[in-house]
Amino acid sequence: MTRVCFLLMLLSVFFLFTVPEDSSAGPQRTPYSGEVNLAAPDQITLKGNIRREEISTPLGTVDLRWPRTAEVYFGRTPVKAMADAARTVSQAIRTSAFPSEIQRLNTNWNVVFMDEKLPQTQIPAHLINNCHPGWMTPPANIYIVAQRVAGGCGQQPRNKSSVADSDLASVLVHEMGHAVEFHLLQGMFAQDRMRAEGFASWFQVYAANYSSVIDRGAQRRDMFSRAKYSIRQNPSGFSSGASLFAGDSLDYARASMYFFAVVDRRGLGGLMEVYQAIAKDKLTFFAAVQKEIGWNSEQLEKEVQRIAQKY
């Protein structure tokens, strides 16, 4: 199993939703089931020598907290890692294919790096027990578990390696990809984990082209090799409902293929038209693809199988 595959196997990241305090400030959103006990990043209890920095990035201000123990696993400090990830995402979305409001994305990011001893009263048990290295809640809250990024689940973390830095950059870009999608959907609540993780996994590979830290070739090779393996194991995809999105690494990769397929045929602009239909007409991802591109379930799955063999 490759290093990137192992990392993404752990990256069963949940796209979590919260109810805004002011219900007049945009569409009402229902809490993701079971996540009401998740504390905000700036409220998470950290132990030991705690650092806090407010940094300015091309995507807005980042309020960042971390224990000094999180620094020993990476060559870059959390401040440097976060600044680099924000710059990577900013460059990735500055192409004219993205809507102008996404290109100008400027929001307040609330980010916490934690060690492996997570506060059980502030984080739901399933996020602790399932060994997620990172997760995100809208609009721009990011949680990172340093040891899990650097070493995986139950393994000894690597100390200050370029591999750990690459993995951290990938996790941060994936989580920030969820925030990009949230803004594409204009804050509309749409609890579709397949779509959310498919977009973030596609975006993770797409944005790697703008990063000096992420091994972009390894990212793409691993994503496509896992997708091809999933297709061989079960030719039925998610679009027909014949297969359910369970959330393992194979599902992440396979879900990303829908996005690679759309972009390959219609470019980034075509994908943005699909998202405009989701937000405007309140469609599912698959219904929006059929409306904007004309692919029914059978055609879409053929495109997925085609694109998976392309790389």
Mean pLDDT by 10 residues, the chain (311 residues): 45 40 28 59 94 97 95 92 97 95 97 91 87 89 93 62 86 96 83 93 97 91 95 91 88 97 97 96 95 96 95 83
> Which strand ranges, in their side-by-side order, compose the sheet holding 109-114?
50-57, 60-67, 109-114, 141-145, 134-137
Q: Is residue 204 part of a domain?
A: no
Confidence (pLDDT) at 158 = 58
Domain that holds residue 77: 3-188
Same domain for 247 and 140: no
The model's pTM: 0.87
> Looking at the structure, do residues 164 and 233 belong to the same domain, yes or no?
no
pLDDT at 40: 95
Instruction: Give residue 126's pLDDT.
Output: 84
Distance CA 145, CA 143 (A): 7
pLDDT of 190: 62
Q: Which tokens hold the place of 155?
A: 């393994």
Residue 237 domain-assigned (yes or no): yes
Are 159 and 244 in a shared domain?
no
What is the rounded distance in angstroms from the CA atom of residue 59 to the CA atom of residue 42? 19
Q: What is the pLDDT of residue 140?
A: 95
Quick check: is 202 in a domain? no
Q: What is the pLDDT of residue 23?
A: 27
61 in a domain, yes or no?
yes
Q: Is residue 287 part of a domain?
A: yes
